[in-house]
Structures are given as C-alpha cells and as structure tokens.
Amino acid sequence: MEIEKLIRQEMNTIPGIRNNVYPLYAPKDVKAPYAVYSKQSINFLMSLNGKLGNVDAVYNVFIVAATYTALQDIVLAAIDKLFELRMRRIGEQGPFIQQVQVQHLGDSFDYEADLLQAQLQVKIFY
C-alpha cells in the first residue's frame, strides 16, 4: 500500500467527510464537507554510505465545510486520525511509519464557493 492510499483510507473513516476524501481536487458536483490531499514533497535520504531507505514526506490536507463549527470538528478529528498513522506499517510488507507531525496552517473563506477551508500540513517519516 502506498502512503497516499493509507492517508485516504484513514481520512475516509472520519464522520462528516466519510467517503468524501479526494487526491489533488474534488469533483465539481461534490457537496461540503469534504477533504482533498496532495503531495508537497518527498525527500529520499542518503548518507555518505549511500541511500538510507527512509523517506521524509510532506502532504497538504485541505478540509472544506459550510460552517465554522463543522470545519473545526472535522479538523480536530483529522488531526487525531493522522496521528494514528504513527507506528504503523504501510500495507502488509511496506515501510514502518516512525514519525508523524501535523501542523494546522490556518483557516480561510472562499467567497466564490461560499465555503470555509482549513489547511493541514502532514509530515511523515518512514
């Protein structure tokens, strides 16, 4: 299993955005609340002895909701769910997630869509 699939799988269990989690963009007809995730960067680590095999990955998660209360409830649930990735293996034989860091980068309002949005930055070391 890839890390993106694991993120989506776990985020899809959050009440409010269940089965409304999408990579890169949400379909035009989707109704809020929903979440979108994207890869910001993947760093492959190397020492003087060669490639270490560990990966330092950064993902952005955007949560969209119609009300501030709903947005904050989903954000808190998402942070808890993302922290649960720590100390898990990616798939049956995949790499072990050693560290997870989640930063809430802030909230905003999209006037065109008339929706609120929160942005989380998720750093995963595996």
From residue 31, how far is each of 2, 17, 71, 94 by CA, in Å?
Answer: 27, 10, 14, 34
Q: What pLDDT was estimated at residue 48?
A: 83
Q: 3-class SS at 28?
A: coil
Q: Which domain holds residue 27?
A: 3-125
- For residue 101, give the CATH number of its domain: 3.30.2000.10
| Count of structural domains within the chain | 1
Q: What pLDDT was estimated at residue 91?
A: 83
- DSSP assigned state of 29: T
Evaluate if pTM is beyond 0.85.
Answer: yes
Residue 1, pLDDT above cutoff 80: no
Residue 46, pLDDT above cutoff 90: no
Rounded to 5°, angle at Cα 35 from 10 and 72: 95
Give yes or no for a contact between 107 and 92, defined as CB atoms under 8 angstroms apart. no
Q: How many CB atoms lie within 10 A of CB 16?
A: 17
Across the beta sheet with 34-47, the strand order is: 21-23, 34-47, 50-65, 115-125, 99-110
d(CA 40, CA 69): 28
Q: What pLDDT was estimated at residue 119?
A: 98
pLDDT digits (tens, 9 = 90+) for 75-120: 999 999 999 999 998 888 888 999 999 999 999 999 999 999 999 9
Q: What pLDDT was estimated at residue 65?
A: 98
- What average pLDDT does this structure show over 61-70? 98
